[in-house]
A and B are shown apart, each in its own frame.
Chain A
Amino acid sequence: KAGVTQTPRYLIKTRGQQVTLSCSPISGHRSVSWYQQTPGQGLQFLFEYFSETQRNKGNFPGRFSGRQFSNSRSEMNVSTLELGDSALYLCASSPGQGAYGYTFGSGTRLTVV
């Protein structure tokens, strides 16, 4: 079956702009999580959604937001981009209930210039 699909794969934005990243989970998975990966901070949790509800949020400023649609697809938005937002953004999906491993997508590489 198809894996987790993230679009776009690469993105270059200018400081001050905003960006929207998209994630399509594995069919049947109702939980979608987002992570930011940078060389300095490693993998950090952004937020998790289940059935369109945010169940947990990481320690990121309000410029980072997300949402989940009724078909479980998810988007995350970063407003007023800063140079430090340059990172690999990873999306992961899981059935959402019970102890299951998360399946990660290949990520979106965001570069802010």
Chain B
Amino acid sequence: DAKTTQPTSMDCAEGRAANLPCNHSTISGNEYVYWYRQIHSQGPQYIIHGLKNNETNEMASLIITEDRKSSTLILPHATLRDTAVYYCTPSGGSNYKLTFGKGTLLTVNP
């Protein structure tokens, strides 16, 4: 399984951009990078995924380095409700599973 490394915690001021990094240097060529977040005691929520190109949706943007060994999730205007644990997880091919690490606890401060 591809291993991921994320900061244990990060802080962000409300209204500012939150940039969450993830290192996935052992990612396979056919694996996508998925990002999820989990608010306390709820099920994880899908945010975004990408293979090679940068991606954007209504929730966030995903920047993947050219060598695919790392990525950054960007929440453009963080709100208090974005306080959660954020996970990046490579998945794809014949894997059919998500491998979660410890994730990053993002705290958005007023």
Interface residues of A (CB under 8 A from B): 4, 31, 33, 35, 42-45, 48, 50, 55-56, 58, 88, 90, 92, 99, 101-107
- Check if A102 sits within 8 Å of B98, measured CB to CB: yes
Question: Can you name the residue of chain B whose Cβ is closest to the Cβ of A50?
Answer: B96
A43 nearest CB neighbor, chain B only = B100
Give chain A nearest CB distance to B66 CB in angstroms. Answer: 20
Which chain B residues (21-80) contact chain A, with CB distance < 8 Å? 32, 34, 36, 41-49, 51
Main secondary structure, interface of B, reads loop
A88 to B41, CA, bound (A): 8
> Most chain-B CB neighbours within 10 Å: which of A33, A99, A106?
A99
Identify which of A45, A56, A102 gathers the most chain B CB atoms within 10 Å of its CB.
A102
Given contacts A99-B49, A99-B92, A101-B34, contact A92 B99 (CB under 8 A): no
A-B contacts besides A43-B44, A56-B95, A58-B97, 16 pairs, CB < 8 Å = A4-B43, A33-B98, A35-B98, A42-B103, A43-B87, A43-B100, A45-B97, A45-B99, A55-B94, A92-B43, A99-B49, A101-B34, A101-B36, A101-B46, A101-B48, A102-B44
A18 to chain B, nearest CB (A): 24
A47 and chain B: residue at smallest CB distance:
B97
Closest A residue, CB atoms, query B46: A101
- Which residues of chain A come closer than 8 Å to B97, judged between CB atoms? 33, 45, 48, 56, 58
Smallest beta-carbon distance A10→chain B, Å: 11
Known A-B contacts A90-B44, A101-B49; A42 and B98 likewise in contact (beta carbons under 8 Å): no
Q: B36, B92, B94, B96: which has the most chain A beta carbons within 10 Å?
A: B96
B96 touches A42 (CB 8 A): no
Contact of B46 with A103 in the complex, beta carbons under 8 Å: yes
Alpha-carbon distance A93/B100, docked complex (angstroms): 16
Asked if A102 and B99 sit within 8 Å, CB to CB, the answer is no
